[in-house]
Chain A
Amino acid sequence: MSTPCRSYSYAELRPHFHDGMSILYGGFMAVGTPLGIVREILDSGVKDLTLIGNDTGSAGSGVGLLVANHRVKKVIASHIGMDPETGRQMIAGELEVDLVPQGTLAECIRCGGAGLGGFLTPTGVGTIVETGKTKLTFDGIEYLLERPIRADLAILKAHRADEKGNLIYQRAARNFNPVMAMAADFVVAEVDEIVPAGGLDPELIVTPGILVDALILAQER
């Protein structure tokens, strides 16, 4: 990672999009989802995407836009109930959906970025979530072995960045973003403001800039 972090226009992201790619997207009900980047992915025409994030937004908001326009082959999420179109496509067999407990999803992504081969969680024991997974017992407690998740691209929303790509978030828009910043081959953050290096209190940085490959100043689209 060179410094400073490169500032991109939306259009300059296009070479990083391709059919069949996997994308980690930040956000919880579209709060903390980089909506300008989602729009650019839509406009680029790429398809057969695997989307990995908490939920598919609500009725055409957030990544629901990509689902509604049939760009998505597979969704890995904890909840799709607020976007009826995701559910419709799943039941019609047009879209593959893996439902993963939210804490397990977050930790799988964390492992993917942290160089870990997996983790053991009690969540999902005795439910259909354990189907096909290795079960281990330690000290009388049963755990499921969950494997790491990584993707080709991570798209983040942060509030402020400095020129080195250091990020801080705003309120509940943080959610999955810092975890995903570690778990993709190319990481782009859409931000509300970019300040010179030294313009953010180093004690308050949430995501270190070495993890971020590209910054985009958010624009109304």
Chain B
Amino acid sequence: MDAKNLIASRVAQELKDGDVVNLGIGLPTLIPNYLQPGIRITLQSENGFLGLAPLTGDPLPNLCNAGGKPCGMVPGTAFFDSAMSFAIIRGGHVDVTVLGGLQVDQDANLANWMVPGKMVPGMGGAMDLVTGAKKVIIAMEHATKDGGAKILKRCDLPLTAAGKVHCIATELAFFRFLDGVLTLTETAPGVALAEIRAKTEADFAVSPDCHEMRLPA
């Protein structure tokens, strides 16, 4: 399993039956492929509906996901306008959001929307999602392409939100913020604690129950 699919399969284990979930574009869209049997979730698409599904067959006019790409919808889908969509998001009606990250720090701060002078795409719905969702999971590769740490003592990129992250899933490790402390709870198969320490700048605790991820074969 490659890094992205490993991360997606681990994040899928965090989702409970009945959850309303908003998935960011990219890696998080792989997560529904790994839902455990009996887990049914409803996907919220911030461009204005509940009931997002993968595209099957020919695209329908005027049906796209939050990346602007054609998608499907489940029976029982509901459409609404953008003010309602973000009332749902900010109002705590979304159980889980899973987004990518550029940096997360040990104070649960997230930076994922701009690199000053280089990449300024805008925050889209990310700031509202991270602020309003009941549980915020950051799914990202553990280090930058150059091998630099992304889990830091303090984010140096502009923040998406302060103190809102609940979990971080990478191809090496799974962390939770427990009583405000960044805590390693799982290691990826075959990954040693020493490697995680070497690739993580942040201070973190190691849970007494820390164990290897239990992933599907």
Contact = CB atoms under 8 A, between A and B. Distances in A.
Interface in B26-56: 45-49
Contact of B123 (A90, A101, A109): A101
A100 to B, nearest CB: 8
A122 B123 CA distance: 15
Given A58-B68, A78-B122, A126-B161, A107 B127 contact: no
A81 B127 CA distance: 16
A106 B122 CA distance: 15
B160 interface: yes
B204 interface: no
Interface string A161-184: 000000001111111111100000
Contacts of B87: 103
Nearest to A108: B83
B127 A106 contact: no
A78 B64 contact: no
B81 A175 contact: yes
B41 to A, nearest CB: 19
B216 interface: no
A126 B162 contact: yes
A178 B79 contact: no
B182 to A, nearest CB: 18
- Residue picked from B46, B49, B68, B82, most chain A C-beta under 10 Å: B82
Contacts of A177: 81
B83 A106 contact: yes
Contacts of B126: 101
Which secondary structure characterizes the binding site on chain B? loop
A150 interface: no
- Bin chain A's interface residue count: 35 or more
- Residue picked from B62, B80, B132, B163, most chain A C-beta under 10 Å: B62
A28 B64 contact: yes
B90 A90 contact: no
A28 B128 contact: no
A110 B121 contact: no
Given A32-B62, A82-B68, A175-B47, A123 B131 contact: yes
B89 interface: yes
A102 B132 contact: no
Given A102-B125, A126-B159, A172 B79 contact: yes
B63 interface: yes
A31 interface: yes
Nearest to A127: B159
B81 A176 contact: yes
Given A81-B121, A127-B162, A103 B47 contact: no
Nearest to B60: A171
Contacts of A171: 49, 60-63, 73, 79
A102 B131 CA distance: 12
A195 B131 CA distance: 43
Contacts of B160: 127
A173 B122 contact: no
A132 to B, nearest CB: 15
Given A29-B68, A106-B83, A172-B45, 15 more contacts: A29-B47, A29-B67, A30-B68, A78-B122, A80-B121, A81-B121, A87-B120, A87-B121, A101-B128, A103-B85, A123-B128, A126-B109, A170-B61, A170-B62, A172-B63
30 contacts: A28-B82, A31-B47, A31-B62, A54-B47, A55-B124, A79-B124, A80-B122, A82-B121, A90-B120, A99-B120, A101-B124, A102-B82, A103-B82, A103-B87, A103-B90, A104-B86, A107-B86, A123-B127, A125-B162, A126-B109, A126-B163, A169-B79, A173-B62, A174-B48, A174-B79, A175-B82, A177-B81, A178-B83, A179-B81, A179-B83
Interface of B: 45-49, 60-64, 66-68, 73, 79-83, 85-87, 89-90, 109, 117, 119-128, 131-132, 158-163
